[in-house]
Amino acid sequence: MLADLRTIVDKAAASAYAVAAFNVFGYEDAYAVVQGAEQLGSPVILAANLNAIQHMPAPVIGPLLKCIAERASVPVCVHLDHGKDFDYVMQAIKYGFSSVMFDGSQLPFEDNVQQTREIAKAAHAFGVSIEAEIGSVGYSDPAVNMKHQLSDPVETASFVEQTGVDAVAVSVGTVHRMEAQSAAIDFARLEAIQSKVSIPLVIHGATGVPDEVLGKLVTMRVGKVNIGTALRRAFGRSLREEMERRPDEFDRIMLFQAPMDSVKEAAIQKMRLLGCGRLS
């Protein structure tokens, strides 16, 4: 069933699990993720980022993900990941996303507050939940020219109060697109943030978080954990192996079976680490 972000993430933040938000790029990985969530009886978030929407425009991927969500036996939120401006976010809402993120993390604080507040007001007018980011979760790829800045607890509280967002992404040590699970989480900072903020916290770049640290994160007021690279690696590696194993096969439906299974298994593994396996 199609779910609102707030409904599933508020509950997770108050409990010892977090909802996984997996970056998906089309039917194959989205369907595999939902199959994994159904196997665990867990809610899940399908997150479409700019790369996904450049590959498959919002009028196509929005209804596709919404349809997959509506047919699922578990709550599935269809979420826009890292939206960069008002029109882009509004377009996602128009095409069926049940939740959006506005990422003003590269802007000066006051501009981030002002733009986030305006977009939050518009999203809420359509009954859509909104996540925003304070501080900035950087990128491990030096070619991505974005700043990395840890979230300040006092600034985070002020940002949440002024913008009225439903969930806030904080920068506490993770970096996007890490392949090694070696991110060092600043738990003292996370604790200081959660003592000042009452809405669910979101961790981005969680592919780089060690398994045991994921288990600790969910005991805090973390309600949503974003994972992208881990699933893209699972799909890509499996597809490469499959093509080597079956050099004469040219039918994509046949070639995609193993990568879809790999994505499903990788998603289940991460959801279990996030405490979702205990929900069923």
Considering the complex, what minimum distance in angstroms separates the CB of residue 204 from ligand G3H?
3
Whether 10 is catalytic: no
Q: How many residues bind ligand G3H (CB under 6 A)?
A: 15
85 marked ligand binding residue:
no
- Partners of 132 in beta bridges: 102, 168
Considering the complex, what minimum distance in angstroms separates the CB of residue 176 from ligand G3H?
4
103 marked ligand binding residue:
yes
204 is a contact residue toward Zn ion (CB under 5 A): yes
The site string for ligand G3H over 223-252 (x = CB under 6 A, - otherwise) reads ---xxxx-----------------------
Residue 31 neighbours by CB under 8 Å, 6+ apart = 68, 260
- Return the residue of 207, 224, 274, 276 that touches ligand G3H, per CB under 6 A: 207
CA distance 252 to 230: 22
Q: What is the DSSP string of 150-213?
A: PPPHHHHHHHHHHH--SEEEE-SS--BT-SSS-----HHHHHHHHHH--SPEEE--GGGS-HHH
Residue 208's Cβ-count burial label (10 Å; 0-12, 13-18, 19+) is: buried
Binds 75: which of ligand G3H, Zn ion, none (CB < 5-8 Å by kind): none
Q: Which residues bind ligand G3H (CB under 6 A)?
A: 23, 81-82, 176-178, 204-208, 226-229
Q: Which residues bind Zn ion (CB under 5 A)?
A: 204, 226
